């Protein structure tokens, strides 16, 4: 597995505004799916639920919209891990329609303890697999 993973997304009517273009916040939802699938592909589904007392939250998002996506477009959403810290992850993400860049973002994700929403070190197994992922790129 490389440091960049991609996730296909089809644009449905629920993703669009009255003009048939993707509502801006839905790009962030598409990106969330790609980040979640990155962790899942590494075998860390357990880190995605509240039973582990670990929770990932977006701390900061910088988004640049280049072109609109429309109803029924087939998109590819990428998530590239660019920085790994003790209790946070930094991703560069893109939404593309074929070779055309529609949206790009830098997403800073913090790891929190679910019980009190305080910063929490990434679980050791998650940190180790993400470290190896970064070292492969």
| Residue 125 is a catalytic residue | no
**Least confidently predicted of 15-19, 39-43, 58-62:** 39-43
CATH of 4-136, picked from 3.30.300.340, 3.50.50.60, 3.30.1050.10, 3.10.129.10, is: 3.10.129.10
Q: So where are the chain's domains? A: 4-136
Query: Tens of pLDDT along 56-107?
Result: 899 999 999 999 999 999 999 999 999 999 999 999 999 999 999 999 999 9
Residues in CB range of 135: below 8 A, 6 or more apart: none
Q: Which long-range contacts (CB under 8 A, 24 or more apart) does 19-27 make?
A: 20/70, 20/71, 21/68, 21/69, 21/70, 21/71, 22/68, 22/69, 22/70, 22/73, 24/63, 24/65, 27/63, 27/65, 27/69, 27/95, 27/102, 27/103, 27/105
- Name the catalytic one among 17, 53, 72, 125: 17
Q: What's the pTM?
A: 0.89
């Amino acid at each position: 597995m490389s440091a960049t993973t991609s996730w296909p997304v089809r644009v449905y009517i629920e993703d669009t505004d009255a003009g048939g273009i993707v509502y801006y916040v839905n790009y962030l939802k598409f990106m969330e799916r790609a980040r979640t699938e990155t962790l899942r592909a590494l075998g860390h589904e357990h880190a995605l639920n509240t039973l582990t007392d670990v929770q990932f939250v977006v701390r900061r998002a910088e988004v640049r919209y280049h072109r609109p996506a429309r109803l029924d477009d087939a998109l590819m959403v990428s998530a590239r891990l660019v920085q790994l810290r003790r209790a946070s992850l930094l991703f560069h993400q893109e939404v593309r329609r074929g070779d055309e860049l529609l949206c790009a973002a830098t997403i800073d994700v913090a790891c929190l303890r679910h019980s009190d929403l305080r910063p929490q070190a990434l679980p050791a197994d998650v940190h180790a697999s993400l470290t190896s992922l970064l070292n492969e790129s």
